[in-house]
Amino acid sequence: MSPRAALGLPAPDFELDDYTGHPFRLADLRGQKSVVLVFNRGFL
Amino acid sequence: MAQLRQDHAEFVASGAEVVIVGPDNAEAFQEYFSEHDLPFVGLPDPEHRVLRLFGQQVNLFKAGRMPAQVVIDQQGIARYAHYGHSMSDIPENSEILEILRELHSEAFSAAAPA
């Protein structure tokens, strides 16, 4: 099975502080990096 | 998370940033990330702001399916999403890396002169 990616929808932008307190904004990576966004349920 | 850690160098080489979003607070992130030596961006989101934001795009997120991974290309377009049916249902790194390499070469050929 080919995992070819083709959703083609703009990801909604968001801004959150990272755990060290630095602001992270998704749109800041545009034109620079791709992003693997992982939604975690929580650390056990 | 440990699985992603193993191939961190390959994620970096494929031009990607790995960003972990979760309901835990900053202290819990700090503790977990330092304990497991995780080099990723960690975003505490106790109010599920980001999850809800993505959830508004019905095609992008099926209601409440967790865990989930979304690959976003350099233009900010979501190109791949995987929803877990259980806690252990996560895609292989190789699958995500293959997509990243594909996106990377796509971006490269788009930038190259015709």
pTM over 0.90: no
Q: Which residues pair with A36 in a beta bridge?
A: B18, B71
B54-73 pLDDT per residue, tens? 876 555 555 555 568 889 99
Closest CA to B16 of B82, B111, B98, B92: B98
Q: Which candidate in B18, B43, B89 is best for mutational testing of the A interface (most A CBs within 10 A)?
A: B43
User: Is the complex ipTM more than 0.95?
Assistant: no
Domain boundaries, chain B: 2-111
Q: Which of B34, B91, B9 is nearest to A43 (CA)?
A: B34
Q: Is the pLDDT of residue A30 over 90?
A: yes
Query: Could you tell me what percent of chain A has a pLDDT over 70?
Result: 84
Comparing alpha-carbon positions, the chain B residue that sits nearest to A2 is B95
Q: How far apart are CA B48 and CA B22, in angstroms?
A: 8
Residue B95 pLDDT exceeds 70: yes
Q: What's phi and psi for B32, nearest 5 deg? A: -65, -45
Taking the CA of residue B103 as centre, how many other CA atoms within 13 Å lie in the half-sphere pointing to its CB? 33
Does B2-111 carry CATH code 3.40.30.10?
yes
Q: Which of A14, A16, A29, A37 to mutate to test the interface with B (most CBs of B within 10 A)?
A: A37
Whether A14 and A26 have beta carbons less than 8 Å apart is answered as yes
